[in-house]
Each structure stands twice: as C-alpha cells, then as structure tokens.
Amino acid sequence: MNTDEYLMKKCIQLAQKGKGYVSPNPLVGCVILKDGKIIGKGYHKLFGKEHAEINAGLDAKKHGYELKDSIVYVNLEPCSHTGKTFPCSEFLIKEKVSRVVIGMKDPYERVNGRGIFNLKKAGIEVKCGVLEYECKKLNRFFIKYVTKHLPYVSLKIAQSIDGKIALEDYTSKWITGEKSRKYVHKLRSEYDVVMIGKNTAQIDNPSLTVREVRGRSPYRIVIDRDSSLPENLKLFSDSHRSKTFSISGISKRAVTNIYSKNIIKVREKDQKIVLKDILKKFYSMNISSVLVEGGANLFSQFIKTGLFDDIYYFIAPKIIGKGISSFENFKINSIRDSKQIEFVNQKILEKDLLIYCRNVHGNN
Amino acid sequence: MNTDEYLMKKCIQLAQKGKGYVSPNPLVGCVILKDGKIIGKGYHKLFGKEHAEINAGLDAKKHGYELKDSIVYVNLEPCSHTGKTFPCSEFLIKEKVSRVVIGMKDPYERVNGRGIFNLKKAGIEVKCGVLEYECKKLNRFFIKYVTKHLPYVSLKIAQSIDGKIALEDYTSKWITGEKSRKYVHKLRSEYDVVMIGKNTAQIDNPSLTVREVRGRSPYRIVIDRDSSLPENLKLFSDSHRSKTFSISGISKRAVTNIYSKNIIKVREKDQKIVLKDILKKFYSMNISSVLVEGGANLFSQFIKTGLFDDIYYFIAPKIIGKGISSFENFKINSIRDSKQIEFVNQKILEKDLLIYCRNVHGNN
C-alpha cells in the first residue's frame, strides 16, 4: 500500500462516520497533506451540511495552516455545482492546493467529471482512481441512486442451515443469535429505510428500531395494500411511530386510521402493488437505501423481479426441518432458471455464519 | 511449531495416504529421527498389512541405518497386541529406540495405554499428546468405531442458498458446480460406504462411484426395505455392481432378483427398518465410515435420531424457491427443539460454499 492508497483508506474511514446521516448524499472523507504531514481531516457529517473537503479545510485552518501547496485526498470527485453548499472544486482552486487525489469520479450527472475538469483547468494536478473498488463499494447506495434513479435494495434473511426462516406456524423468534441481531441493528442504522411485508408486520409485530448498537433508527415502511393493519402494532404505536410509513393502494382520504398521515399511496395493478413503483416512489422521496427484512412473500417478489442488489444471509447452526423458506412463493421449472447470486464473503458471528451475497443478474 | 510438532505433522501427512485403504484400522504415519536427521518414513498402507512403525523401520534399514538410539514419531500409540501383525511396541523395544513421540493414546480396548506402558517399562522415554487434536481429527472414523461400536456417519447435502436440495419435481441435477462434485468424489474415496435411500436410488439413479478424482470407489448401500428396486438401476447393473448392497427387511431366500446375493437383512419394526440396527450391522461388517448422500427422507431420519457425526453442506449460489428441503420429514414444535449443529469451517469451491458442520448434541 503506497502513500496515496494509505491516505485514501483514511478518507474511507472518515467517510464511514457519516453512515446513516448523509443520505441521499454520498459518504465522503477528506485528508489534507502538507510537507508530509496531515494538516486537516474532515468528512461529510449530515445531509445539507458542509462537504468533506470544506470540513477538512476548516480543520487545517483552525490549526493555523494554509491550504496553499497542499495535497488533498478525497474518496469522491469534488463537486462542481452549487447545491446546498458552495462547490468544493472552487474552494480547492481558491485555496491554491497543488494536487488532488481522488478515489472515484462522481457519477452524479451534475458533476460527472466537471469537478476534475475545473481543477485541472486551474492548473492543479489531479489523480483519480485510487482504491476505486473500495470507494465504489463505500458509496454503493449513492451510485445506485444517482445512476439508476432507484434506491439500493438489500435483503436481510435469517435462516437455519436447512433454509427455514420460520417454523410451519410462522414462529421465527430467536433463530439467529445475539451477535447476528446486533449486526442487523448496525445495518438498520446505515439504511434509510427498513421495509417489511404485511404478514410479517402482523405475525412478528417487530419494532425494526436500532436498540442493540448505537445509531439512528431508520424509517420503517410496511406494505399494507388495503390499509387494514391494526394500529396497535408496535410500528404504529411505539415512540418511533412518526418514522413509520405504510404503502397502500388506497389514497389517504379513504383511510381514517390514526396513522393515515403516514400513508404512501402507490398505484395498484390488478389489485396488486408493483414493486418497481414502490422503489420509484422511494427514489422520489430521496430514499437511497432499503433493507428488506421479510417475509417470504416480499422476498419472493424481489427475487422474481430481480430488483435487489445484495443479500445478507444470517445462517444459524440449527436444523428446523419442516417450515417456511425465504423464497416460498418463487417457483422455477428447471434448475437452469434458478436465480444466480454470488458469494462475496463469509463471517462467523458467534455461532452463526453471515454469508454476504450479491445479485449477479439484476439489471439494477 | 516446535520439532516434535513439525515431525508429528509429517506423520499425519504420511498417514493420510492410507485414506480409503486401511479401514477399519486407523490411519497411521511414522517418522524416525536419528542424529537430527530423518532416517525412515512409513505409513499403514492397507488393512491387514504392516503398521506404520514397521514400514518406517524397514525404510531406515533399507538405507543402512540402525534404529538404536533413534527417536520415533507416530500419530497413534504403537500397538501392544498381536493382531494381523507383530506388536509395534515390541518391535521398537527390540530395536532399542531411545524415545517415542506419540500423537494420541490408542482408544482401542486391546491397546489403550498398554503400548505406552510397555515402552516405558523397557526404559524408553515416551511423550504422548503432540498435536493431539489434529491426530484425533485424522482418526475420527477409527475412534468412533472402536469406542462406540458404530461407524462414523457424515451427511453430504448439496443445496441452494435457500435450502433446496431439489425442485418440487425432485430434479436435483447440477445444483452445485464442478469443484463441489470433485470434492464429493474425493470424500467418497475416503469412506467405506456411501449410503442412499430408496427414493434417491429410483429418482436420481446415481452411480455413487469415484470418477472425477483418483481413488477407490466405496461400497454402495441402498435402503430397499421390500427389495423392490428395479435391477436396471446403475447401482445394480454397472461395472461396480459387486460393490452394491441393499438393506432389506426381507431375507435373502425370499428375494429372487439377480442382485439377491448382496442383500443385508435387517430386522423390521412396525414395517420399518430401525436406523440404529443398520449402523450396528455395519459395525459388525467392519464398516467404520458411512457417507449419506440422500434423500430428504433418510437425512430426516438421521436428524431425528441424532445418529450422525457431521454434515458437509455444499451451498450453491442459487435461489430455487419452491422445492424439497434436506430435512423435509423432520418436524419440531418450537425453535428450542431445533437440532443444534456447529459450524466448524467454510471453504469456497469455485462459486459454491462448503460449510462443514459437526453434530453437537449427538450421543455418538
């Protein structure tokens, strides 16, 4: 690992601190080097607030340094447009930095190379593509959001080694262990939205909040086509109820439930809600990431449509036998028609095994 | 890793060359050291033939060395009884070796410390327990066989990540990839017996031989309670047919099929064959290891009874949805009643994932 890579890794680490707070903006970290010394560090902390480069620059100045002739490391191309903040590339030009090392080009159409172009035009040396793979992985939510105009979708499935997410009677409590549950809570803190289907809401009555780790709780969205879910469910009655939305085919006016203000109306087709319409709606709501937590019905729809990006499979060292499988309502006629995924990595979580899989066929 | 451990590892590597050929004897390798130099190496090659210590001694002598004052490394306690060969401990005493380093005590009741006792009595320095865990793992078939008087049982399950071993119509060809299949063939070459249930024999018509790697094919045993399987199945008609046995509740005399000579009669109870009776029968036939390759019915019986030692789960990166699960006929009423296993290790096999699990509750 050379100096550029080492400092880019620092940027990535800084950027990660913004997880859960900057969406739909990208995660960005910035390190400023001068005379072989790190003089400033910063990251994008909160949506709408200062970008990483500005924060790093302010950090340097606070400690009495000028940015002139410094080298700026940043995991994403500095922006070129005036959005909620002053364009970062202009800031770096104004401060007369000598070199900018970038992890990846910003795929957002309003930037997409213009930041790099402006820097170069101002005579600043630019290097782009350092730890590019890692930088793209870091900002997979953002990339999907700005290039496909859809949120990034992850399925979270907890099952026994023999592939059961619940017993025949739908009992599913405590299949996986404590460390897996903590991991799930950490995931929730990083996604904009946790989504579940109607049956899961009714049978499990889950909270879907972040409790076992520090972090903010996500929005909770439940599919409730005919708006008939009882309002005493935790989702609609606990202290986070203002962060619950239900997706319905019925317009707000037709619903008189207490939680009617939080209804997201999606058009129906043959008395069904089309999954892609939900995701498009999410995009329009600035939602860039969705963690789908069940049940078999909703999982099956994601597999049928291919509208998911990855799967977190939490496997418990248990054998359940008869029970409910994750993709119960998906049916193929030949093994050739099975949906291909890719095993990216595995991790032991106490007694459980986490298998992280990527969708390889998805036209996401 | 110190010298003792390093040379014990060599013994284990040598011992492994006997896999598939020494059952129900243990896998044993031996290295002889003199003046800091390895003067002889040997392993137990074939059931009934010379033990590792003798082979290593002969190897040393062939190269002009005397064993006097040498150090002998061996992964299992040298035997003390005259079986098919002269007792190895007597051989080492006669040759006046100075020290014997042993991986593990021999649990076989006719040895069980007597070899070590004899060596010590003769004034030879003995160290026992070097890489004991690895040595016990190496000889898990043998240990189960001599201590429990039952064969070691492994289940081999190939399934999609959503836990399906076949489609609804029982199609199961090519769920896993080529590297997994090769791995299974290697496993077959190490087990005495590969066993399947009746439905699997009829639906899949498998060969169960070793083709994709070098190694000897195992005995093939199929459960066929009423001896009604058609004789044109590969198991009964291919060039390995003399190595096929069928387990039946009907005595040989009552069966007139061409393969009747290979029937293993097991008593029936309520028109069912009791799994433990099969395994006891195997023990009486000197079978020390069984690889169970399906189907869901037979797997379920092993889970119900707990009569298995470990599971090789070959997981394909595929989603099948509706289909047959590995333990379809096992049913529990509460997740507390699920069968606990332990994830021991994982290995990527091309695109597949092999999860090796151990039975933790089995009273094997």
The confidence score (pLDDT) of residue B303 equals: 96
Whether A149 has a pLDDT exceeding 70, the answer reads: yes
Cβ contacts of B163 on chain A, cutoff 8 Å: 159-164, 325-326
Predicted confidence (pLDDT) per residue in B230-278, tens digit: 989 999 999 999 999 999 987 666 666 555 568 898 988 888 889 999 9
Residues of A with Cβ-Cβ distance to B320 under 8 angstroms? 327, 332, 335, 338
Instruction: Please report residues of B whose CB lies closer than 8 A to that of A334.
Output: 167, 171
With CB atoms and an 8 Å threshold, state whether B332 touches A313: no
pLDDT for A122? 96
> What confidence category does residue A31 fall into, taking pLDDT thresholds of 50, 70 and 90?
very high
Q: Which of A35-44, A81-90, B221-230 has the lowest mean pLDDT?
A: A81-90
For residue B317, list chain A residues with Cβ-Cβ distance below 8 A: 340-343, 357
Distance from CA of A308 to the nearest CA of B (A): 13
**pLDDT (tens digit per residue) in A193-243:** 999 999 999 999 999 999 999 999 999 999 999 888 998 999 999 999 999
For B12, B28, B97, B101, B115, the CA distances from B120, given in Å and listed in that order, are: 24, 21, 11, 12, 9
Contact across the interface for A160 and B338, Cβ inside 8 Å: yes
Q: Which helix (H) or strand (E) holds B282?
A: helix B275-284
Would an 8 Å CB–CB cutoff place A306 in contact with chain B? no
Min mean pLDDT across A84-93, A272-281, B125-134, B189-198 is at A84-93
Q: Verify whether the Cβ–Cβ distance B355 to A353 is below 8 Å.
A: yes
Q: Say which residues have a Cβ less than 8 Å from residue B311's Cβ, sequence separation at least 6.
A: A161, B154, B155, B156, B157, B341, B356, B357, B358, B359
CB distance A55 to A29 below 8 Å: no
A14 interfacial to chain B (CB closer than 8 Å): no
Smallest CA-to-CA distance from A145 within A337, A348, A327, A284 is with A284
B71: its two tokens: 């150090």
Contacting A residues, span 245-284, partner chain B, CB-CB under 8 Å? none
Residue A261's pLDDT band (boundaries 50, 70, 90)? low
Q: Which of A91-100, A248-257, B68-77, B192-201 has the lowest mean pLDDT?
A: A248-257
The ipTM value here is: 0.92
DSSP per-residue letters across A291-326: EE---HHHHHHHHHHT---EEEEEEESEE--SSEET
For residues B183 and B314, is the Cβ–Cβ distance under 8 A?
Answer: yes
- Give me the helices (H) in chain A, please: 3-16, 52-62, 88-94, 114-121, 132-138, 140-148, 178-190, 198-204, 234-237, 275-284, 296-305
Residue A83 has pLDDT above 80, yes or no: no
Query: Closest to A340 (Cβ–Cβ): which among B313, B318, B340?
Result: B318
Give yes or no for a contact between B240 and B221, defined as CB atoms under 8 angstroms apart: no
**The predicted structure's pLDDT at residue B171:** 86
CA distance A20 to chain B (A): 29
Helices B296-305/B275-284 angle, 10° precision = 90
The pLDDT score that the predictor gives to residue A75 is 98
Low-confidence residues in chain B, pLDDT < 50: 363-364
Contacts with A167 from chain B: Cβ below 8 Å: 332-335
Q: Supply the pTM of this predicted model.
A: 0.93
Asked whether residue A260 carries a pLDDT value surpassing 70, the answer given is: no
Beta bridge partners of B29: B43
- Above pLDDT 90, what percent of chain A? 86
Give dist(CA A36, CA B108) in Å, integer. Answer: 68
DSSP single-letter state for residue B235: H
Mean residue pLDDT of chain A comes to 93
Residue A259: pLDDT over 70: no
Task: Report how far residue A27's alpha carbon sits from residue A21's, in angstroms, rounded to the nearest whole number.
Answer: 9
pLDDT at residue B178 in the model: 96
CB distance A161–B346 less than 8 Å?
no
Q: Do B335 and A318 count as a contact with CB atoms less than 8 A apart?
A: yes
Least confident of A36-45, A182-191, B164-173, B302-311: B164-173
Tokens 């962060």 belong to which residue? A243
Give the per-residue pLDDT at A2: 93
